[in-house]
Amino acid sequence: AEEEEAGEEGAKAGPSGAARPLKLKQASKAKGAPPKGSTAATIQYHKYDVAGAATWKAGEGVPYLFLARVFGTVEDEPKRLRITELMANAFRTVLAVSPQDLLPVVRLTTNKIAADYAGIELGIGDSIMIKAVAETCGRSVAAIKESLEQEGDLGIVALQSRGKQMMMMKPKPLAVRGVFKVLTEIAMASGKDVQTRKKEKVKQMLVSAQEKEAQYIVRALQGKMRIGASEQTVLVALAHAVALSEMEAKGKVAKGEALQEQLAAAEATVKQAFCELPNLDLIVPALLEHGLASLHEHAKLNAGIPVKPMLAKPTKGLSEVLDRMGQAGRFTCEFKYDGERTQIHMLEDGTVKVFSRNSEETTSKYPDIVAMLPKAMAPGVKSFILDAEAVAYDRVKKTIMPFQVLSTRKRKDADVDDLKVQVCVFAFDMLYLNGEPLLRKTLSERRDHLRASFTPIEEQFQYAISSDANNVEEIQDFLQESIKGNCEGLMVKTLDTDATYEPSRRSFNWLKVKKDYLAGMGDSCDLVPIGGFYGKGKRTGVYGAYLLACYNEIDEEYQCICKIGTGFSDEALQELTKSLDEHRIEQPRKYYRLPEGGNLTPDVWFEPKQVWEVLAADLSISPVHTAAIGMVDPAKGIALRFPRFIRTREDKGPEDATNATQIAQMYNDQACTQSKATKSSVDDDDDW
C-alpha cells in the first residue's frame, strides 16, 4: 500500500521508463554592475530550458527521481552561488510544468516536513534504518554495518546495495508528492508496533527507488540531507525562481543589472516574509496565488505562529555602548534577566501559546503563565504577541533566582498545582496587537502599546525594569542595580531611530552589556559536544573531558573548536555522561571536521544532540582545530582558550549553536580591539 502511496502521483519517465538527463546549465556573466548585498549580485540565469528539463508531462506529478538528480548535482557542486542557481532552475521547471507540486518539492529540499514550531521531525534511529536497508537489499545487518563503518553514510550504503540487486520487474516510479506523504506518515506515526510500521514504510519506498533515490530517502529519514543547501539558500532559490517565472509569463525577462535588481528585490521579499511568517506551507501557496508583489499582504506576522527573536550585539564596555548609540538619538537600558527567552501569543479565540527562542512550543511547561495572563490584560485586548523573559522567582524572599533553578522545572505537561519553581514574566516588547503587526513601528511606540495593554501583577507579570539613561555614569549605576537584582547585565536599545523589530537578526540597534564581560571572563559560545574522553582519578567512570564543535551553516558540518574539562560539577559529569551515552556512535560522522593532528581523538563519539554554553578567555588561530577554517586564516582554524562549561542549553538544537561565521567575527572583533590596546569585544549567542 505504501509503495502505491509513494508512487501514486508519479510522472511518466519517458519511453521505456528512461528519464531524460537533467538540463541544468552553467550561468554566463551578464553586463552591468549588479547591486551589492544580495545573492543575486553575482548569479546570472541565461539560456536554461525550463520546460525541456522536465522528465514528465505537464500537469503530472513531479517524479522523485528528478529531485534526487538535483540533489546529486547540488551535492557535487562546491560553489554556493552555483548551488543557488541549480536549485532555482529546478524550481522554475516545477513552476512551469507542475506548480501544484512546488510545496512538497521545497519541503523535501529543506528536509523539513512541517514548520519548526509544529514539532514534527524526521530522524529515525540508525538501528531501524539499518534493518530496513538490510531487509530491502537482501543483505545481513552485519554486512550493512560493516559497509557503514567504511562509508560513514547509510544513504551511500543503501545506494550501493540497491545497485547490486537484480529486479524481476521494474517498480512503479516514486513521486515527490507520494514520498512527502509517506515521510509525513512516518514522522507522525505512534502507538503499538510503531517501529515495525515505520520500518515497513521505509522498505516499501526503498523497493521502488531508482538511481540516487535510495541515498536521499535514507538521508531524509535520518534528518541529515547534507547536500550543502541551507534553508536560507532554498529561500533565495525559491525567490529567484518565482521572479523569473513571473517575468517569463509576461514575456518580459529583464537582463543585466535590471535583472539583478529584480532578483535582489524578490530575495528580500521572500526572506522578509519568512522572517515574519516562518511557515512554507503558507508562503509557497501565497506566492503561487498572489505573486511576489502581493506576498507581504498575504504572508505576515500572525498570532499562533512564532517568529525568531531579534538578537543583540554584545559589547565589553559602557564607552562602546555610547560610541554606538551616540548617533542613534534616544535609547533605553533594560535589565537583562537570567531566565528563558519566551514569546507569548494569544489568539482571537483566547487560546494562549508559549514558545521558546527556538520556536519550540512550551505552553505545557508554563501552565501558570497561561492561567495568569488574562488577569493582566487590559480591556479590549483580543490578541497579541509578547517578547518576554520567564524567570524563576522566589515569592517568599521576593527575589529573582538563577536560570539553573528554572531549568529544573518539568519541560512538558506540568501541572499548575504541582509546580515547585514559580516564574515571573518580565515583558519588554510587543510584536502584534489585535490583529495588527507592530514590527515596523519603533520600540518607543511598541513599548507604549505594551504598557497600555497590560497591568503588572506583583511576582507574576512585570515590565522589564528600564531607564532611558544617556551618559556613562547613569548607565554604570543602572548596571550595578541590575547586578544587585540578580540579573546578568543590561540590554541597550534604540527607541526611535532604526528602532523597528527585526526577527532573527542580530543588530547593533540592540546591545548587551553582561557582567561577565566587564569582569574579563571572556567570550560566551554555544557549542556541541561531539566526542568524550574517559576520565581518570576522581573522574574515573565518567567522561572527564569533551571535544566541542561549532556549526558551519554553509558547509553543513560541525567544526571542532576546543577540548573542555573545566567548569563541571561532579553531579553534572554524572548527568552528562548518562545523557550522552544514549547518543554514542561507533565512528565520527562524515560531517564532522576533525582536529588536524594533536592528541585530540576522543575515546567515544556522539551524535550532535546537545548544546552547551561555554565561557573562554579568548580566541586564537589554531593549526589543530577547524572552527571557521579558511575564514580568517586560509589553512588554520580558530580555537577557544581556557574554555569553561556554564550550562546545557535545552532551548537550542545543534544547528542553532554558535556558527563558524560568528566565530570568525568574534576573532576579528577581538583582534581589532586588541590592536587598539583595549579590551576585546565579544559575540556570544545566548537568548539575546
CATH classification at residue 487:
3.30.470.30
For residues 616 and 534, membership in a common domain is answered with: yes
For residues 443 and 531, membership in a common domain is answered with: no
For residues 405 and 390, membership in a common domain is answered with: yes
Q: What backbone phi and psi angles, to 5 degrees, belong to 139? A: -120, 160
- How far apart CA 577 and CA 211 sit, in angstroms, is 41
Determine how many CB atoms are found less than 10 A away from the CB of residue 95.
23
Is residue 527 in a domain? Answer: yes
Active-site option among 203, 336, 441, 636: 336
For residues 500 and 527, membership in a common domain is answered with: no
Output the DSSP codes for 349-384. Answer: TS-EEEEETTS-B-GGG-HHHHHHHHHHBPTT---E
- The CATH number covering residue 597 comes to 2.40.50.140
- Of 518, 547, 581, the position where a domain reaches its end is 518
State the Cα angle at 651 between 645 and 655, rounded to 5°.
85
Q: Please report, for residues 63, 75, 205, 639, the alpha-carbon distance to residue 68 in angstroms, rounded to integers and kept in the order given.
A: 9, 10, 14, 37
- The residue segments making up the domain with residue 430 are 311-518
pLDDT at 33: 42
Output the DSSP codes for 89-103. Answer: HHHHHHHHH-GGGHH
Is residue 396 in a domain? Answer: yes
pLDDT at 269: 97
47-51, 376-380, 594-598 — which is least confidently predicted? 594-598
Is residue 613 in a domain? Answer: yes
Is residue 389 in a domain? Answer: yes
- How far apart CA 63 and CA 84 sit, in angstroms, is 21
Is residue 359 in a domain? Answer: yes
Is residue 426 in a domain? Answer: yes
- Of 481, 499, 518, the position where a domain reaches its end is 518
* Dihedral (CA of 481, 484, 485, 489) sign: positive
Determine how many CB atoms are found less than 10 A away from the CB of residue 132.
25
pLDDT in tens, 5-19: 565 444 433 333 333
pLDDT band of 27, cuts 50, 70, 90: very low
For residues 668 and 562, membership in a common domain is answered with: yes
pLDDT at 39: 59
For residues 415 and 316, membership in a common domain is answered with: yes
Is residue 551 in a domain? Answer: yes
Is residue 161 in a domain? Answer: no
Question: Hunting for cell 497561561 — which residue is that?
Answer: 370
Q: Please report, for residues 30, 208, 218, the alpha-carbon distance to residue 167 in angstroms, rounded to integers and kept in the order given.
A: 48, 10, 20
476 burial class (0-12, 13-18, 19+ CB within 10 angstroms)? middle
Output the DSSP codes for 572-612. Answer: HHHHHHHHHHTTEESS--TTEE--SSSS---SEEE-S---E
Residue 29, pLDDT above cutoff 90: no
For residues 363 and 418, membership in a common domain is answered with: yes
For residues 503 and 547, membership in a common domain is answered with: no
For residues 509 and 646, membership in a common domain is answered with: no
Residue 222, pLDDT above cutoff 70: yes
How far is the first Cα of the chain from the last one, in angstroms, to the nearest whole number? 48
For residues 647 and 612, membership in a common domain is answered with: yes
pLDDT at 678: 41
- How far apart CA 496 and CA 511 sit, in angstroms, is 15
pLDDT in tens, 628-674: 999 999 999 999 988 999 999 988 889 999 999 999 988 887 765 45
Number of domains in the chain: 2
- Of 498, 518, 538, the position where a domain reaches its end is 518
For residues 531 and 458, membership in a common domain is answered with: no
- Helix residue ranges, H only, 98-153: 102-110, 126-137, 141-151
- 8-state DSSP, 17: G
For residues 418 and 527, membership in a common domain is answered with: no
Active site residue 212: no
- As a whole number, the mean pLDDT across the chain is 87
